[in-house]
Amino acid sequence: MEWIDDPSRGDWLRERLDESYATMHGVVPRGYPAYARVFHPASVRSLPDRPVPTQDEYERMPEAEHQALYGRYIDEPARWADAATAFGTVLHPTAQWQALVRTPVGGDWRTRHTSNGREFSAPAEGDLEPADLAAIARHLVAHTATPDAGVAAVWEGWGGLLGHLGHSPSRSMLSDDPVHERMLQRSIPNPFEDAFRKPTWQAGILSERISTGPRLTLPGREYVMFSAAPREFADPDWVLGAPWRDVESEERGFPPAAQHPSLIWPDDRAWVLVSEIDFDSTVIAGSAELIRAICADPVIEALPLPENAALTWDADEVNA
């Protein structure tokens, strides 16, 4: 994978997008025969012999009871269909998570408890685990004439991705070391002194050349583009070859990681994968055959999505 410094490689997408976000076509290109919505996995927590306490219940517990619960939680991935069954709702192509889990007005949709005491946590937005992307990519590779040539675009706004000229670091690392924490506290910029300090380059994951280089500009978003063979994403270890891989975090003991691409398409444009940063699902635009294959794969939770579908917060009229 190599950085693409010519934003015109993505101009064709802009021509197929709406200026409005009223439907998915504010981010998903028009002009394809069919579309699929891949639901990002949620998670569910349970206890073997009692309901999972809500946050309020947990905060009222004595410390001894906290300790008694430690290590006993069972955390598992959960499908949207699991949540629909648990909350007595209906999974359909334009379902919205907060409606699926019966979130009351003003309630926290990110964490919801079922009547039998299980705790569902909302899916990630704009992000898929490498193994989940690999499962999708195996179908994508089979439905393009250019599986070894394509583009991956990463949203510029992910924390720490790009460097910048300023006083505050582009990225910060978490640490349990009290000495390190004190050093961080001493290094926090003084806002009164900042006005008299000369800005310096604050490094990000990507180089200064890429960080200051041209971007693909689409309605409301800008992306850094890389050449990427669709075939590479069919292997969960694709992160090891990604130029936006967070090597510095690895040097501090974290496992290899690279942000999930926001857009992927092959050179023949037979399909487009769109993981909009505000969507808790990924949309695939492509042939009817591709969409059928993805939706039929038991490893992937996906449903066909009609053209002009809305995926906005209030789009779920079935579970309203």
- Give the model confidence (pLDDT) of 45-54 as tens digits: 888 877 777 7
pLDDT at res. 223: 95
* Residue 199: pLDDT band with limits 50, 70, 90: confident
* Residue 288: pLDDT band with limits 50, 70, 90: very high
Q: How far apart are CA 167 and CA 182, in angstroms?
A: 19
In the chain, % of residues over pLDDT 90: 59
Residue reference for tokens 């857009």: 263
* Residue 204: pLDDT band with limits 50, 70, 90: confident
Region 60-73 average pLDDT: 75
Give the DSSP per-residue string, the chain: -EEE--GGGGHHHHTTS-SS-SSGGGTS-S--SEEEEEEPPEEEEE-SSSPPPPHHHHHHS-HHHHHHHTTT-EEEEE-HHHHHHHHT----TT--HHHHTTPPTT--TTEEE-TTS-EEEPPPSS---HHHHHHHHHHHHTT-S-TT-EEEEEETTSTTSS-EEESS-S-------HHHHHHHHHHSPPHHHHTTSPPEEE--SS-HHHHTS--EEETTEEEEEEE--GGGGGSGGGGGG-TT--HHHHHTTPPP--PPPSEEEETT-S-EEE--TT-SEEEEEE-HHHHHHHHH-TTS-EEE--TT---STT---S--
Region 229-235 average pLDDT: 96
Q: Is the pLDDT score of 176 beyond 50?
A: no
pLDDT at res. 65: 74
Region 17-29 average pLDDT: 93
Q: How far apart are CA 316 and CA 21, in angstroms?
A: 16
Region 169-179 average pLDDT: 49
**Is pLDDT larger for residue 56 or for residue 94?**
94
Residue reference for tokens 């959960």: 78
Kindly report the average pLDDT of the chain as a whole number: 87
Domain residue ranges in the chain: 2-39+126-163+203-304, 42-121, 166-202
Q: Is the pLDDT score of 190 beyond 70?
A: no
Q: How far apart are CA 212 and CA 218, in angstroms?
A: 18
**pTM, two decimal places:** 0.85
Region 231-252 average pLDDT: 89
* Residue 97: pLDDT band with limits 50, 70, 90: very high
Q: Is the pLDDT score of 180 beyond 50?
A: no
* Residue 250: pLDDT band with limits 50, 70, 90: confident
DSSP β-ladder status, 2-4 and 263-266: unpaired
pLDDT at res. 304: 97
Region 308-315 average pLDDT: 92
Structure tokens at 120: 């569902």
129-172 per-position pLDDT tens digit: 999 999 999 999 999 999 999 999 999 988 888 876 665 655 55
In the chain, % of residues over pLDDT 70: 88
Region 98-109 average pLDDT: 91
Q: Is the pLDDT score of 192 beyond 70?
A: no
Q: How far apart are CA 207 and CA 161, in angstroms?
A: 9
**Is pLDDT larger for residue 188 or for residue 150?**
150
pLDDT at res. 17: 95
Alpha-carbon torsion angle 87, 100, 272, 276, nearest 10: -120
pLDDT at res. 249: 81
- Residue 140 to residues 146, 179, 266, 270, Cα–Cα distance (Å): 10, 48, 9, 9
pLDDT at res. 61: 73
First to last CA, the chain: 44
* Residue 228: pLDDT band with limits 50, 70, 90: very high
Structure tokens at 293: 């294959």
